[in-house]
Amino acid sequence: MQTIQTLVVEDHPALRAAMVAGLHATKEITVIGEAGSGEDAIEWCAQHTPQAILMDVALASQLNGIQAAVIIRREHPRIPVVFYSIQDDDAYYRDFQRSGILSHYAYVRKSNYLLPAMVAPLLRDAFQGRAFIDPDIASRVQEVRHRDEQSALDLLEPAEREVMTLVAHGFTNDQIAQRLGFRDARAVSRINGQIYTAWGLNENTTDEKVARTRATIIFHERQLIVWDEEGRGRAYMPDGQWQARWND
């Protein structure tokens, strides 16, 4: 039986060594590389191409496992990645949602150790193109997403939400007025202005086209975002912190 050539990314040396030994013992997995940080994993994959990656989510580095996997997949599209973690942090679920790579996730609630025998079938499924999402993880991702989606839209009145939904789907003011039964299309312009005010878009731009574009981004991102004078955006997180939304 062909063994799966795997990179193991774990920042705890003792746990990494135990995991590597245990995976070899299954006779299904051959660990061809080890990394202790997201940055090390990226560097390793720049020189090698594993058949699968086993990745801890919470890493003691600038990048967590999800962020590292996104970067790795730029050079190695669709490379199978099995994630694991004992953490239950909303930030990780947001990263998974944004990354678009929530496919394999082994989740341990009450133990600091994930048994290699539990991991090998996940790696095998990933290698063969089968996806698995732990139901608890999928539920938490949707829970966090739903909570985040409410934050920006909850600042709008019902009529404003109706208008913003159509704006975000490319309708003109005249088309919106017709669809919503307004007698005067100027009512849509007034509502747009109220949306811009509610989302702080009237404070840093006087260009209505820019405000409309940014409002559309906020609608689809489901997060409040502010832009500085140089056009750099920061998103408002549910924990009350502002976070850079896009890298320069």
Q: What is the residue whose two structure tokens read 């574009």? A: 213
pTM of the model: 0.63
pLDDT of 9 reads 96
Give the pLDDT of the chain (248 residues) as one tens digit per residue: 689 999 999 999 998 998 999 999 999 999 999 999 999 999 999 999 999 999 998 898 889 998 999 899 888 888 899 988 887 787 788 787 777 666 666 665 545 556 788 888 889 988 888 877 778 777 887 787 777 666 788 889 889 999 999 999 999 999 999 999 998 889 999 999 999 998 888 866 568 889 999 999 999 887 888 887 777 888 766 555 666 766 54
Catalogue all structural domains in the chain, each as residue range(s) with its CATH number.
4-147 (3.40.50.2300), 155-244 (1.10.10.10)
Tokens representing 55 are 């990745």
Under 8 Å between Cβ of 107 and 84: yes
> Residue 91: what pLDDT?
79
Structure tokens at 127: 């290698």
Q: What is the pLDDT of residue 245?
A: 65
Check residue 42 and give its pLDDT.
Answer: 96
Residue 189 bridge partners (DSSP): none
- Sheet with 105-107, strands from edge to edge, namely 29-35, 4-9, 52-56, 81-85, 105-107
Write the burial class of residue 81 (CB in 10 Å: 0-12 exposed, 13-18 middle, 19+ buried).
buried
